[in-house]
């Protein structure tokens, strides 16, 4: 049985995924909606907004790279102090 989800809630879920780096799985658990439903909403929205999924993926990758660079800088500084 499908329950009707308010369009504002759908938009908020999609926004959290695209802009806040939330995963579909996390959104599914937090909002009590199936992952398939969320992917369908994103797909429907993506057809009207080109590049949205790609931007979301790039944002997550960018955050991961920033964390890696930060860790490398910390390790480098520790190495300099130990000399």
Average pLDDT per run of 10 along the chain, which is 83 residues long? 81 88 91 92 69 76 95 90 73
pLDDT digits (tens, 9 = 90+) for 31-41: 999 999 999 98
User: How much is the pLDDT for 48?
Assistant: 53
Answer whether 0.75 is exceeded by the pTM: no
Structure tokens at 47: 């057809």
Give the residue from 38, 34, 47 showing the smallest Cα distance to 14: 38
**Residue 50: what pLDDT?**
59
Please give, one letter per residue, the 3-state secondary structure of 35-61.
Answer: HHHHHHHHHHHHHHCCCHHHHHHHHHH
How many residues would you count in the chain?
83
User: What pLDDT was estimated at residue 47?
Assistant: 57
Residues 6+ apart with CB under 8 A from 25: 35
5 DSSP 8-state letter: P
């Amino acid at each position: 049985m499908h329950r009707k989800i308010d369009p504002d809630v759908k938009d908020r879920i999609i926004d959290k995924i695209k802009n806040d780096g939330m995963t579909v799985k996390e959104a599914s658990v937090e909002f009590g909606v199936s992952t398939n439903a969320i992917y369908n909403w994103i797909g429907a929205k993506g057809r009207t907004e080109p590049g949205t999924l790609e931007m979301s993926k790039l944002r997550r990758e960018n955050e991961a790279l920033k964390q890696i660079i930060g860790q490398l800088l910390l390790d480098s500084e520790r190495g300099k102090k130990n000399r």
